[in-house]
């Protein structure tokens, strides 16, 4: 690319000069003109700034050009606006984002110290926020563990206190960060206001250019100087960025309109801008081929910033075309970035599987009965290794991060409770009873909004039964925990009853539709085409299934339907095995839609029948060996052989049924 040095380069390359002034070698014979156009009404900078959102812009990426659903353009605009408020923010792109979730408390404190010491404070906000979140979460888990040990040793909750050297070190680093950040923004605020005032002053001078009666070349030179001043003016408040730029660009456009009588100057600028924007497009298209998608996207942000801030408009005949090309290259880069994020999501999902396996391993330890000191020491080491593995495993999807962490903490907490209970004899039986009831409350509160009613109802009834079996708790806690438990249970059963009332209406409607379908089935008449009749029957079965469940007290209609299907199948000229398989497939559909456990039971039943039939065949074949020197037409021998044949046919049918079940798995 001939002029690629005028574009920003990839990460690690030297910063290039992106500014270029137009040649002032205008022909001396060029005709000087003065503007005779009507002077625009005078307006204040604040009015110009507020009106800018309604101004028609050029080919820059403006609100009217961007589809509301095009989130990537909005993201680039927001990021550039953030950088425009504080120039140090762009450094945040080069600072490595480490796997903070895998770091220990000490490693997090060290990392925070390094960032605060070596980096611009305004560039590390997102990094510090992530570190702070991880540190608080992990330290709270440690604090909870220490507190529980303190209470189990007989301590009073009000007396609990725990101090850690690593916490002190972290707090000092975080305090230094907050101090530097506050100082930075105090200094920045005044600069932002002054820079905004300077830019508004430039806008006012731009407005005045079309009223100046002087040599057009002199006016044009003044115009270019104003553009250079605009570029060199420092950051302004983020919320004023777009409006200020729009207002500036509007008055640049007005100046170009003022130059319409002197096309040489305007066309030369248009040509310059077009050349530079074509180079930007070319660079964006090159970036679309870059395998480092995040580096390409960061440079793309810079290209958008150049497009908007460094360059002016082009001739109208090119504006839409070049913007569409630039936007197309932008879309390719963003699509690749989305694929990159999808791959990261796969890694996160794999990490989630690993963490859930770790939690399940700890739960398995919790489920074991450990009764000796040596056994407990082994389990403590085992759980500690699992905890370390959990922390060293990478991130999980953000939507399940909190729930996964909570589940892990709860599982470890359960282990610690069992461990502490083993090493310390509880002073009072009532404390044991209190803890049991608190566990039941936890289950009740955790499941009170669970929508899996079939499983949760049994669970809630069980914990209510368990509650009654547990003995007395300290009087001071009795009413309080009973109210909590009762409130959680009542909340769940109120929700259950409301849901069932709504479901009853749907199931009754399904019953009425099934009753109507059953009536049409009674009128079914077999045709001469058996295959067609079988398809019709299967269609009846599928339609029946699609109608859904009926009320429990009207489940008898299912039996009527099955009986009607059996009668029709019997009337067709089909083998016994064919009829049995069609009926079995219908049964499987019902099982699969109702409960997966029933499907497991059916598979177990069929395997048992296969074993029984095989055993019967072996027994009959052994019996034949006792018939020596007996003719084959002997009635007893014939009966045994017929039985063997019938059993083998039956075995074939059972195996077909088992194969059909395996397909469903």
> Residue 592's pLDDT band (boundaries 50, 70, 90)?
low
Quick check: 589 pLDDT over 80?
Answer: no
> Residue 359's pLDDT band (boundaries 50, 70, 90)?
very high
CA nearest to 304, candidates 69, 83, 16, 50: 83
Quick check: 133 pLDDT over 90?
Answer: no
What's the pLDDT score for residue 342?
A: 81
CA nearest to 56, candidates 211, 256, 322, 195: 256
- Residue 320 is encoded by which pair of tokens? 């839409």
> Residue 425's pLDDT band (boundaries 50, 70, 90)?
low
> Residue 42's pLDDT band (boundaries 50, 70, 90)?
very low
User: Interhelix angle for 398-423 vs 316-367, to 10°?
Assistant: 20
Q: Return the SS3 of 8.
A: coil
Segment holding 656, helix H or strand E: helix 635-664
Give tens-digit pLDDT for 278-332: 998 899 888 888 888 888 888 888 888 888 777 877 888 888 888 889 888 888 8
Cα 560 to Cα 328, 359, 481, 555, 556, distances in angstroms: 62, 48, 51, 9, 7
- Residue 236 is encoded by which pair of tokens? 């302004």
Quick check: 488 pLDDT over 90?
Answer: yes
Assigned domain for 506 exists: no
Mean pLDDT of the chain: 77
Helix spans in 210-292 (H): 216-232, 238-258, 263-287
As to burial, measured by CB atoms within 10 angstroms (0-12 exposed, 13-18 middle, 19+ buried), residue 112 is buried
Quick check: 60 pLDDT over 50?
Answer: no
Mean pLDDT of 116-130: 86
Mean pLDDT of 425-443: 80
Quick check: 358 pLDDT over 90?
Answer: yes
pTM of the model: 0.37
Assigned domain for 584 exists: no
Assigned domain for 442 exists: no
Mean pLDDT of 18-38: 28
Percent of the chain past pLDDT 90, that is, above it, reads 11
Domain count, the chain: 1
What's the pLDDT score for residue 48?
A: 35
Of 101 and 368, more confident? 368
Most confident by average pLDDT, 344-348, 364-368, 373-377? 364-368
Is 613 within 8 Å of 654 (Cβ atoms)? yes
Of 5 and 607, more confident? 607
Is 401 within 8 Å of 450 (Cβ atoms)? no
> Residue 38's pLDDT band (boundaries 50, 70, 90)?
very low
What's the pLDDT score for residue 336?
A: 85
- 37-41, 416-420, 535-539, range with the lowest pLDDT: 37-41
Query: Which residues form the domain of 633?
Result: 596-665
Quick check: 439 pLDDT over 70?
Answer: yes
- 238-247, 259-268, 457-466, 553-562, range with the lowest pLDDT: 259-268
Cα separation of 142 and 137, whole Å?
9
Of 47 and 439, more confident? 439
What's the pLDDT score for residue 444?
A: 93
Assigned domain for 39 exists: no
Question: 399-405 long-range CB contacts below 8 Å, 24 or more apart?
Answer: 400/352, 404/352, 404/355, 404/356, 404/359, 405/137
Quick check: 514 pLDDT over 50?
Answer: yes
Cβ-Cβ contacts under 8 Å for 617 (sequence gap 6 or more): 644, 647, 648, 651
What's the pLDDT score for residue 93?
A: 60
Can you spell out the DSSP letters for 237-260? -HHHHHHHHHHHHHHHHHHHHHGG
Assigned domain for 443 exists: no
Percent of the chain past pLDDT 70, that is, above it, reads 81
Is 330 within 8 Å of 284 (Cβ atoms)? yes
What's the pLDDT score for residue 396?
A: 85
Assigned domain for 109 exists: no
Of 241 and 650, more confident? 650
Assigned domain for 183 exists: no
Give tens-digit pLDDT for 544-581: 888 888 888 888 888 888 888 888 887 877 777 777 78
Is 247 within 8 Å of 51 (Cβ atoms)? yes
> Residue 356's pLDDT band (boundaries 50, 70, 90)?
very high
Mean pLDDT of 223-232: 82
CA nearest to 286, candidates 298, 296, 301, 275: 296
What's the pLDDT score for residue 481?
A: 93
Mean pLDDT of 451-473: 89
CA atoms within 13 A on the CB side of 662: 8
Mean pLDDT of 257-271: 70
What's the pLDDT score for residue 11?
A: 33
What's the pLDDT score for residue 233?
A: 82
> Residue 465's pLDDT band (boundaries 50, 70, 90)?
very high
**Residue 119 per-residue DSSP state:** S
Is 243 within 8 Å of 63 (Cβ atoms)? no
> Residue 5's pLDDT band (boundaries 50, 70, 90)?
very low
Assigned domain for 655 exists: yes
- 210-214, 338-342, 483-487, range with the lowest pLDDT: 210-214
């Amino acid at each position: 690319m001939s002029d690629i040095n005028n574009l920003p380069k990839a990460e690690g390359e030297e910063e290039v000069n992106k500014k270029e002034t137009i040649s002032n070698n205008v022909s001396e014979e060029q005709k000087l003109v003065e503007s005779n156009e009507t002077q625009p009404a005078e307006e204040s900078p604040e009015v110009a700034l507020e009106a800018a959102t309604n101004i028609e812009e050029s080919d820059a990426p403006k609100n009217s050009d961007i589809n509301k659903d095009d989130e990537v353009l909005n993201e680039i605009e927001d990021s550039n606006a953030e950088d425009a408020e504080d120039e140090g923010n762009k450094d945040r792109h080069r600072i490595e984002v480490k796997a903070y979730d895998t770091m220990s408390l000490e490693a997090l404190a060290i990392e925070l110290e390094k960032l605060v010491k070596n980096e611009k404070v305004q560039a590390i906000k997102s990094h510090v926020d992530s570190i702070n979140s991880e540190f608080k979460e992990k330290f709270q888990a440690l604090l909870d563990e220490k507190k529980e040990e303190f209470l189990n040793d007989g301590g009073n909750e009000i007396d609990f206190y725990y101090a850690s050297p690593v916490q002190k070190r972290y707090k000092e680093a975080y305090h230094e960060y907050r101090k530097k950040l506050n100082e930075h923004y105090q200094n920045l605020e005044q600069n932002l206001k002054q820079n905004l005032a300077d830019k508004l002053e430039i806008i006012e001078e731009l407005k005045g250019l079309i009223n100046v009666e002087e040599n057009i070349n002199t006016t044009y030179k003044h115009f270019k100087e104003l553009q250079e001043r605009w570029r060199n003016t420092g950051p302004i408040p983020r919320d004023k960025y777009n409006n200020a730029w729009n207002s500036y660009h509007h008055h640049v456009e007005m100046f170009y309109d003022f130059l319409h009588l002197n096309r040489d100057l305007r066309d030369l600028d248009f040509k310059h801008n077009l050349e530079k924007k074509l180079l930007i497009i070319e660079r964006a298209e090159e970036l679309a081929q870059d395998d480092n998608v995040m580096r390409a996207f960061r440079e793309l942000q810079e290209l958008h910033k150049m497009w908007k801030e460094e360059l002016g408009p082009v001739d109208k005949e090119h504006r839409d075309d070049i913007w569409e090309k630039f936007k197309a290259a932008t879309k390719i880069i963003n699509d690749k970035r989305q694929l990159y994020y999808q791959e990261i999501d796969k890694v996160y999902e794999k990490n989630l599987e690993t963490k859930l396996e770790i939690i399940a391993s700890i739960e398995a330890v919790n489920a074991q009965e450990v009764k000796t000191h040596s056994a407990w020491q082994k389990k403590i080491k085992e759980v500690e290794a699992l905890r370390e593995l959990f922390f060293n495993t990478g991130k999980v999807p953000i939507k399940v991060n909190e729930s996964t962490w909570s589940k892990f903490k709860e599982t470890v907490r359960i282990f610690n409770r069992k461990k502490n209970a083993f090493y310390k004899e509880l002073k009072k039986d009532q404390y044991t009873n209190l803890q049991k009831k608190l566990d039941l409350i936890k289950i009740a509160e955790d499941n009170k909004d669970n929508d899996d009613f079939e499983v949760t109802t049994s669970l809630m009834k069980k914990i209510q039964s368990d509650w009654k079996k547990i003995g007395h708790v300290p009087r001071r806690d009795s009413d309080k925990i009973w109210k909590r438990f009762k409130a959680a249970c009542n909340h769940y059963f109120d929700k259950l009853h409301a849901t069932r009332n709504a479901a009853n209406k749907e199931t009754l409607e399904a019953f009425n539709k099934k009753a109507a379908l059953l009536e049409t089935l009674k009128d079914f008449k077999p045709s001469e085409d058996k295959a067609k009749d079988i398809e019709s029957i299967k269609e009846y079965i599928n339609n029946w299934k699609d109608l859904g469940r009926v009320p429990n007290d009207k489940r008898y209609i299912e039996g009527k339907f099955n009986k009607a299907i059996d009668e029709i199948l019997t009337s067709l000229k089909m083998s016994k095995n064919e009829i049995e398989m069609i009926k079995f497939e219908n049964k499987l559909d019902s099982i699969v839609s109702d409960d997966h456990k029933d499907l497991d039971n059916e598979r177990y039943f069929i395997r048992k029948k296969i074993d029984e039939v095989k055993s019967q065949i072996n027994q009959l074949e052994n019996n034949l060996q006792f018939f020596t020197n007996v003719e084959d037409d002997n009635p007893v021998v014939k009966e045994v052989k017929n039985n063997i044949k019938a059993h083998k046919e039956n075995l074939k049918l059972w195996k077909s049924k088992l194969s059909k079940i395996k397909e469903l798995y």
